[in-house]
A = this chain, B = another copy of it.
Amino acid sequence: MTNNITIALDCMGGDEAPNIVIRGASKVAEDNKSVKFIFYGDLDLINPLIEKYPNIAGRYSLVHTTENISSEDKPSAALRRGTKSSMRLAIDSVKEGSSHAVVSAGNTGALMAMSKVVLRPLNGIHRPAIVTFMPNRQKKATVLLDMGANIDCDANVLYQFAVMGRAFAKAALRIEDPKIGLLNVGSEDLKGGDVVKAAAALIKQSSIGPSFYGYVEGDDISKGTVDVIVTDGFCGNVVLKAIEGTAKMVSGFLKEGLTGSIFAKIGYLFASSSLKSVFRKMDPRLYNGAMLVGLNGIVVKSHGSTDDVGFANAIKVAISLVENNINEAIIKEIESSGFSGSLSDVEQNELKING
């Protein structure tokens, strides 16, 4: 357990900032007596709120700015014009060593672009990615990456995703030896395109090879067949949103069903506590806290529409990642793989043919 962890909090990102940020921090402070915060944002808004939470008194510092990255800003514009924004200043603090991690509920594209420029990719990592975790039928969650940072990925990039996803599962979810699956259209060896086949070959021959389960399919995400599922940013993003949409649709139908008639309403009264405890497993707030992984510094993205409970969970993810030195684990794994530097096109092609 690292002592005196400081988390930089972007107080201008997300639908309900700065409220949920400060309330979220207060919730975390309740359980964690040593964590400290730096709040970045408009002090005219922050100061009156922060007084309501005496449990964080003396455990934070404030940095004032009125510059904000909006959810519509393009990453390039955010980079050019957002140098004094709350998001940027919070990232800068990680670079400068005044904080151990940054948490923001703001614009994902801008957060990734700024983090790449300020923090730079980890030594040997070609493409930082976005890694998240989702509910499944088992006890723990399924870690999934890339969630949309990289549309086209070659085999080596997918291998590096496997390393980073595994390190995230260990650090954030405390899974001891996370099993890795590669998302594909079938579990047989012959299935899938050349890139996926080459990635499977790379992972097998790497130091994480013993943790490689093989190919998994779309329904393995909710089955919890493996702990970490690797795919490119296009598929990852589409699948994540399709799953979120389906869960919303089903719960919408459920709500309709349980309020549809007077009998249904009576039924709901009887069943509600049991239903709530079961559906707690699917509460999206429990799965809030995606990491921008592969950077020299810990950057955690909160969902923009979450509440204080969700934001507190994102902060807790950041703390776990700091405590468990995720980046050191990633660097070590990549270095020991033997092909961390970069694969030439010829080598990759050979892997494709032999894979």
Residues of A bordering B, CB below 8 Å: 74, 135-137, 148, 151-152, 183-185, 190, 192-193, 217-223, 231, 233-235, 237-254, 256-258, 260-261, 263-264, 266-279, 281-282
- Shortest CB-to-CB span from A265 to chain B, Å, is 8
Chain B residues lying within 8 Å of A237, measured Cβ to Cβ, are 185, 217-218
Contact (A258, B231) CB under 8 Å given A237-B218, A241-B219:
no
Closest chain B residue to A151 by CB distance?
B193
Chain B residues lying within 8 Å of A278, measured Cβ to Cβ, are 253-254, 256-257, 260
Contact (A274, B258) CB under 8 Å given A234-B193, A282-B250:
yes
CA distance A217 to B239 in the complex (A): 9
CA distance A256 to B282 in the complex (A): 13
Contact of A271 among B137, B240, B271 (CB under 8 A): B271
- Shortest CB-to-CB span from A219 to chain B, Å, is 3
A-B contact list, 13 entries, CB within 8 Å: A135-B249, A136-B249, A185-B238, A218-B245, A219-B248, A221-B242, A239-B239, A254-B275, A257-B277, A264-B271, A267-B268, A267-B270, A271-B271
CA distance A32 to B13 in the complex (A): 59
Establish whether residues A274 and B261, one from each chain, have CB atoms under 8 Å apart when the complex forms: yes
- Shortest CB-to-CB span from A95 to chain B, Å, is 28
Interface of A is mostly: helix
Establish whether residues B271 and A258, one from each chain, have CB atoms under 8 Å apart when the complex forms: yes
CA distance A251 to B264 in the complex (A): 17
Oligomer copy total: 2
Chain B residues lying within 8 Å of A253, measured Cβ to Cβ, are 278-279, 281-282
CA distance A136 to B250 in the complex (A): 10
Given contacts A148-B185, A267-B270, 7 further A-B contacts (CB under 8 A): A221-B246, A222-B249, A223-B249, A254-B275, A261-B273, A264-B274, A271-B271
CA distance A263 to B270 in the complex (A): 5
Chain B residues lying within 8 Å of A221, measured Cβ to Cβ, are 242, 245-246
Chain B residues lying within 8 Å of A252, measured Cβ to Cβ, are 137
Chain B residues lying within 8 Å of A238, measured Cβ to Cβ, are 183-185, 217-218, 231, 235, 238-239
Establish whether residues A222 and B242, one from each chain, have CB atoms under 8 Å apart when the complex forms: yes
- Shortest CB-to-CB span from A135 to chain B, Å, is 7
Most buried by B among A148, A193, A267, A271: A271
Closest chain B residue to A258 by CB distance?
B271
Chain B residues lying within 8 Å of A273, measured Cβ to Cβ, are 261, 263
Closest chain B residue to A275 by CB distance?
B257
- Shortest CB-to-CB span from A248 to chain B, Å, is 7
Establish whether residues A242 and B245, one from each chain, have CB atoms under 8 Å apart when the complex forms: no
- Shortest CB-to-CB span from A215 to chain B, Å, is 11
Contact of A263 among B74, B222, B274 (CB under 8 A): B274
Contact of A185 among B233, B254, B274 (CB under 8 A): B233
Chain B residues lying within 8 Å of A223, measured Cβ to Cβ, are 245, 249
Establish whether residues B248 and A222, one from each chain, have CB atoms under 8 Å apart when the complex forms: yes
CA distance A217 to B275 in the complex (A): 30
- Shortest CB-to-CB span from A184 to chain B, Å, is 8
Chain B residues lying within 8 Å of A246, measured Cβ to Cβ, are 221-222, 242-243, 246-247, 250
Chain B residues lying within 8 Å of A220, measured Cβ to Cβ, are 245
- Shortest CB-to-CB span from A67 to chain B, Å, is 23
